[in-house]
């Protein structure tokens, strides 16, 4: 049973609205074309709204187009704040003498789509044969409630010339009136346990099993309720022949007030309106329940009568699990729940349900209700579960699931699942107390699933991607404590600032500073070590003191109280940097060229279009680790673009000249500090460490900067030997998450640049 919406009927009188709409000054938002523009196509949307009984969006306004729009518009694209609707349309033109342009015509378009956004309209695009033409809503335009929308549409339809286009639009919006079917509403009331409204009365004749109302609009003096219909007929001895009693149920809240004005029923494209009697009663639960039970006791055979009886039997959730009362066709358990930001929720569990008994699942938290939709779940093999239920005829091992609900949680409210069968019986399943989001929760989530190839994109689009993103944002939203310790007299106006994040192995610090100390000029460099591993704080403090005493190279240590990851750790380090040039350096990178800092800086000084530069990085055996990167689409990872290192593992065979690439590694890169601060350093959307470097390079690229490698400058990179953990499933999935973020941002840019600017190895 779908969740329904309510709209307050707070629109002013129709005469005033229509007068204001059609005489509204053409107010232009900043950045749009003026009314005096000589553009070939202009126009505005003057009103719009979702028509629930017609099940589609209506948009009306004017455009400057000589041709009859019904003959030339193929599709319409409506873009809202957080939504986009595109569909084939019905369209209608009508004269607009109030518009000064002689080419202007009024338009009405109808997009039949089974949902309505609550966001504000941003643009409306008309798909003509010669391209897409886009217009804006007039200033102050907003989605109209259905009663006001119907009045607007009636007026607009009256402006169109009589004929087939107007008749077709009228039927699409209002249905074909059926004068033969008539009836009245005798009593109604909101049933708190059923969480919806019952309407009961009679009609002069019934309907067949293949022709029942499929949508209802209940119009009250102060508000509207709309949604899919649940209707049943019952025998009434007090009525004339062929007349029958009728009961309708409409889920919703009890917030609408005032008397019922009408109940509109839709049978496909036919619309019937029932009106209340003068003495129609509005009953409370205590009066409503026995009256409904008595009437439903006379219900005609059929599924809807059974459904209404089951709805009437409902009891609210009391904290007890009652799912088992639905019988052996459904088993559902939640093993873990995780908070994702202030309102998001991840559920990890398993479900076994027969295809013909698949229930509607809703997650409740206070007044919030979220649908748990099977098609958006990430499925997981749970052979351990299946083995316990083969006796019930289940044979699908992929019965485990992960679900993400972005707006499911109301603070301090109980969270539970409501399962509803196709007979509208309901059962409840409690959800264990969710654990807070954090790095441990991210590991738990990503360590529980293994998706690749064609399953990867939908899993990350619907569940894993937005869930990890929300958890990471929550994790980073809390300012982390830090301790800053200076060893020796750190330079205050350095030319170079070098940031080295530390996680896992710390002994590389000693080797790095030992090699850097061989060149006295390095004492004038601002070295900033950022410890991103709080468990190693005591070890790091002893090591830092010993390193300074031994090599006498001043440096600054920033000790974080919580693990942040590669990008945030580097960005924290940037807060303590003052040099003209900023260097990002991994702890397992060591100098091969003594004056590497000066030589890389010279490249930036010589070429203002060079945004970032790096050295040739070699393995300890002299083979190439990095001399620039390109992107390759990996089938196992959904054909997403992944960074690849040119000539990795081979011997360098170039001539030492400067080379330019679409991206270079963040293991060692230099850029001007003011430019790094301008772009915000590394993007913290990426978790722990993957793709931050290519993201930075691509940000620079779209600003017109180049990325390059100077192969005459050599450093050695041990590549991730600074990390202790192996390639666990959760870590592979974290790389996939970072790739998902990167792909959404940069796939088009990468494809364009590698096609026209950068060669990809054969």
DSSP calls for 601-647: HHHHHH-TTEEEEEEEEE-TTS-EEES-EEEEEEGGGTTEEEEEETT
List, for residues 549-559, the tens digit of each pLDDT value: 999 999 999 99
| Tokens matching residue 303 | 């599924």
- In this structure, are residues 194 and 249 in contact, taking their beta carbons and an 8 Å threshold? yes
- In this structure, are residues 137 and 81 in contact, taking their beta carbons and an 8 Å threshold? no
Q: CATH number, domain at 394?
A: 2.60.40
What distances in angstroms separate CA 166 from CA 54, 157, 159, one per listed residue? 15, 7, 10
Task: Please check the confidence at residue 467 and state whether its pLDDT lies above 60.
Answer: yes
Residue 1 lies in a domain: no
| Tokens matching residue 207 | 């309907």
Domain match, 38 and 70 both: yes
Confidence of residue 213 (pLDDT cuts 50, 70, 90): confident
Domain match, 504 and 431 both: no
Domain match, 285 and 353 both: no
Q: CATH number, domain at 238?
A: 2.40.30
Domain match, 289 and 335 both: no
Q: CATH number, domain at 690?
A: 3.90.550.10
- In this structure, are residues 669 and 693 in contact, taking their beta carbons and an 8 Å threshold? yes
Domain match, 168 and 293 both: no
Average pLDDT (618-636) is 96
| Tokens matching residue 701 | 């690229």
Average pLDDT (600-605) is 98
Average pLDDT (627-643) is 96
Distance, in Å, from the CA atom of 247 to the CA atom of 231, rounded to the nearest integer, reads: 6
Domain match, 606 and 709 both: yes
Show the beta-strand stretches assigned E in 465-618.
Answer: 482-487, 496-502, 526-531, 555-560, 581-585, 589-591, 610-618
Domain match, 518 and 618 both: no
Domain C-terminal end among 414, 443, 471: 471
**What pLDDT does residue 146 have?**
77
Instruction: Please provide the average confidence, as pLDDT, over all residues in the chain.
Output: 88
Residue 435 lies in a domain: yes
- In this structure, are residues 169 and 59 in contact, taking their beta carbons and an 8 Å threshold? no
Domain match, 621 and 744 both: yes
Task: Please check the confidence at residue 727 and state whether its pLDDT lies above 60.
Answer: no
Domain match, 221 and 269 both: yes
| Tokens matching residue 105 | 């015509």
Average pLDDT (468-474) is 96
Domain C-terminal end among 155, 174, 193: 174
Task: Please check the confidence at residue 28 and state whether its pLDDT lies above 70.
Answer: no
Largest CA distance in the chain: 108
Tell me the three state secondary structure of residue 462: helix
* Other CB atoms within 10 A of residue 199 CB: 23
- In this structure, are residues 80 and 119 in contact, taking their beta carbons and an 8 Å threshold? yes
* Structural domains of the chain, count: 5
**What pLDDT does residue 210 have?**
63
CA-based nearest residue to 500, from 586, 571, 562, 437: 586
What letter would DSSP give residue 664? -
Task: Give the structural domain span for 298.
Answer: 177-312
**What pLDDT does residue 67 have?**
58
* Other CB atoms within 10 A of residue 161 CB: 10
| Of 176-185, 387-396, 582-591, minimum mean pLDDT range | 176-185
Tell me the three state secondary structure of residue 238: coil
- Of 2-16, 229-243, 265-279, 479-493, where does the model show the most confidence? 479-493
List, for residues 250-273, the tens digit of each pLDDT value: 988 778 889 999 998 888 778 888
- In this structure, are residues 226 and 289 in contact, taking their beta carbons and an 8 Å threshold? no
Degrees (nearest 5) of the Cα angle 448, 450, 455? 125
**What pLDDT does residue 69 have?**
62
Task: Please check the confidence at residue 504 and state whether its pLDDT lies above 60.
Answer: yes
Domain match, 169 and 181 both: no
**What pLDDT does residue 27 have?**
35
What distances in angstroms separate CA 12 from CA 17, 19, 148, 257, one per listed residue? 7, 11, 8, 18
Element holding 572 (H helix, E strand)? helix 566-574
Q: Residues near 10 by Cβ (< 8 Å), separated by ≥ 6?
A: 145
**What pLDDT does residue 492 have?**
94
List, for residues 34-57, the tens digit of each pLDDT value: 333 344 678 999 999 988 778 889
- In this structure, are residues 46 and 62 in contact, taking their beta carbons and an 8 Å threshold? yes
Share of the chain above pLDDT 90, in %: 67
**What pLDDT does residue 228 have?**
84
Residue 721 lies in a domain: yes
Asked whether the CA dihedral 22, 26, 28, 32 is positive or negative, the reply is positive
Query: Which residues make beta-bridge pairs with 498?
Result: 527, 583
Residue 317 lies in a domain: no
* Other CB atoms within 10 A of residue 279 CB: 7
- In this structure, are residues 92 and 60 in contact, taking their beta carbons and an 8 Å threshold? no
- In this structure, are residues 94 and 160 in contact, taking their beta carbons and an 8 Å threshold? yes
Task: Please check the confidence at residue 126 and state whether its pLDDT lies above 90.
Answer: no
Confidence of residue 32 (pLDDT cuts 50, 70, 90): very low
What letter would DSSP give residue 461? I
Query: Which residues make beta-bridge pairs with 430?
Result: 416
Distance, in Å, from the CA atom of 578 to the CA atom of 566, rounded to the nearest integer, reads: 20
Residue 586 lies in a domain: no
Task: Please check the confidence at residue 150 and state whether its pLDDT lies above 80.
Answer: yes
**What pLDDT does residue 226 have?**
82
CA-based nearest residue to 503, from 573, 408, 596: 573
Average pLDDT (148-172) is 89
Strand 56-64 with 43-51, pairing: antiparallel
Task: Please check the confidence at residue 721 and state whether its pLDDT lies above 60.
Answer: no
Exposed, middle or buried, 749 (CB in 10 Å: 0-12/13-18/19+)?
middle
Q: In 3-state terms, the chain is what percent helix, strand and coil (to 5)?
A: 30, 35, 35
List, for residues 79-123, the tens digit of each pLDDT value: 988 778 888 889 898 988 888 777 788 999 999 887 766 678 999
- In this structure, are residues 222 and 255 in contact, taking their beta carbons and an 8 Å threshold? no
Residue 318 lies in a domain: no
List, for residues 534-549, the tens digit of each pLDDT value: 999 999 999 999 999 9
List, for residues 437-452, the tens digit of each pLDDT value: 999 999 999 999 999 9
Residue 365 lies in a domain: yes
**What pLDDT does residue 12 have?**
39
Domain match, 207 and 297 both: yes
Domain match, 349 and 245 both: no
Query: Which residues make beta-bridge pairs with 264?
Result: 217, 273
Domain C-terminal end among 174, 208, 225: 174
* Other CB atoms within 10 A of residue 203 CB: 21
Residue 35 lies in a domain: yes
List, for residues 297-311, the tens digit of each pLDDT value: 999 999 999 999 999
């Amino acid at each position: 049973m779908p969740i329904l919406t309510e709209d307050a009927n707070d629109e002013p009188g129709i005469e005033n609205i229509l007068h204001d709409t059609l005489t509204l000054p053409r107010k232009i938002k900043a950045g749009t074309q003026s009314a005096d523009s000589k553009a070939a196509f202009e126009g505005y949307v003057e009103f719009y709204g979702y028509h629930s009984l017609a099940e589609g969006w209506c948009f009306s306004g004017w455009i400057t187009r000589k041709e009859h729009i019904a003959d030339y518009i193929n599709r319409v694209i409506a873009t809202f704040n957080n939504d986009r609707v595109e569909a084939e349309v019905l369209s209608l033109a009508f004269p607009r003498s109030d518009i000064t342009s002689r080419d202007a015509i009024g338009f009405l378009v109808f997009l039949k789509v089974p949902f309505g956004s609550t966001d504000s309209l941003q643009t409306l695009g008309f798909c003509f044969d010669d391209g897409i033409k886009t217009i804006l809503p007039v200033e102050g335009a907003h989605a109209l409630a259905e009663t006001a929308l119907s009045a607007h549409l009636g007026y607009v339809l009256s402006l169109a010339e009589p004929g087939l286009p107007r008749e077709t639009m009228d039927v699409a919006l209002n249905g074909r009136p059926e004068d033969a079917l008539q009836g009245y509403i005798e009593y109604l009331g909101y049933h708190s346990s059923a969480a919806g409204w019952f309407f009961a009365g009679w009609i002069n004749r019934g309907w067949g099993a293949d022709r029942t109302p499929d949508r209802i609009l209940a119009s009250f003096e102060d508000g509207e309720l709309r949604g899919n219909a649940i209707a049943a007929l019952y025998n009434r001895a007090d009525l004339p022949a062929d007349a029958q009693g009728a009961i309708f149920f409409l889920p919703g809240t009890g917030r609408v007030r005032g008397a019922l004005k009408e109940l509109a029923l839709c049978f496909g494209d036919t619309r019937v309106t029932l009106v209340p009697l003068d003495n129609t009663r509005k009953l409370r639960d205590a009066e409503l329940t026995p009256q409904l039970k008595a009437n439903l006791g006379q219900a005609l055979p059929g599924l809807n009568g059974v459904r209404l009886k089951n709805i009437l039997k409902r009891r609210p959730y009391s904290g007890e699990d009652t799912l088992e009362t639905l019988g052996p066709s459904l088993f559902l358990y939640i093993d873990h729940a995780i908070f994702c930001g202030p309102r998001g929720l991840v559920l990890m569990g398993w479900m076994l349900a027969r295809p013909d008994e698949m229930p509607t699942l809703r997650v409740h938290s206070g007044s919030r209700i979220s649908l748990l939709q099977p098609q958006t779940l990430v499925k997981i093999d749970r052979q351990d579960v299946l083995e316990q239920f083969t006796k019930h005829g289940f044979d699908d091992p992929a019965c485990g699931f992960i679900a993400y609900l972005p707006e499911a949680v109301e603070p301090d409210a109980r969270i539970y699942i409501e399962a509803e069968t196709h007979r509208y019986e309901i059962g409840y399943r409690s959800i264990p107390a969710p654990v807070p989001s954090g790095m441990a929760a991210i590991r738990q989530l990503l360590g529980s699933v293994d998706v690749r190839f064609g399953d990867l994109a939908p899993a990350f689009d619907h569940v894993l991607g937005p869930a990890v993103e929300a958890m990471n944002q929550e994790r980073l939203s809390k300012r982390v404590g830090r301790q800053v310790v200076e060893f020796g007299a750190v330079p205050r106006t350095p030319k170079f600032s070098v940031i080295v994040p530390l996680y896992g192995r710390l002994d590389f610090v000693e080797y790095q500073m030992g090699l850097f100390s061989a060149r006295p000029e390095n004492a004038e460099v601002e070295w900033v070590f950022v410890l991103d591993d709080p468990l190693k704080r005591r070890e790091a403090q002893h090591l830092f003191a010993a390193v300074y005493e031994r090599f006498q190279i001043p440096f600054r240590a920033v000790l974080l109280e919580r693990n942040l990851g590669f990008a945030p750790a580097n960005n924290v380090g940037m807060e303590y940097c003052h040099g003209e040039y900023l260097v990002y350096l991994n702890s397992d990178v060591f100098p091969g060229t003594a004056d590497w800092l000066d030589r890389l800086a010279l490249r930036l000084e010589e070429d203002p279009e060079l945004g970032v530069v790096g050295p040739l990085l070699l393995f300890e055996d002299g083979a190439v680790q990095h001399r620039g990167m390109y992107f390759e689409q990996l089938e196992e990872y959904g054909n997403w673009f992944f960074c690849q290192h040119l000539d990795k593992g081979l011997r360098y065979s170039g001539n030492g000249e400067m080379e330019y690439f679409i991206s270079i590694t963040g293991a060692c890169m230099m850029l001007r500090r003011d430019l790094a601060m301008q772009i915000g350093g590394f993007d913290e959307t990426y978790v722990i460490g993957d793709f931050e470097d290519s993201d930075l390079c691509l940000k620079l690229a779209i600003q017109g900067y180049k990325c390059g490698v100077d192969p005459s400058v050599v450093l050695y990179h041990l590549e991730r030997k600074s990390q202790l953990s192996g390639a666990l499933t959760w870590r592979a999935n974290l790389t996939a998450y970072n790739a998902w973020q990167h792909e959404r941002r940069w796939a088009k840019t990468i494809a364009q640049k590698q096609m026209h600017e950068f060669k990809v190895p054969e």
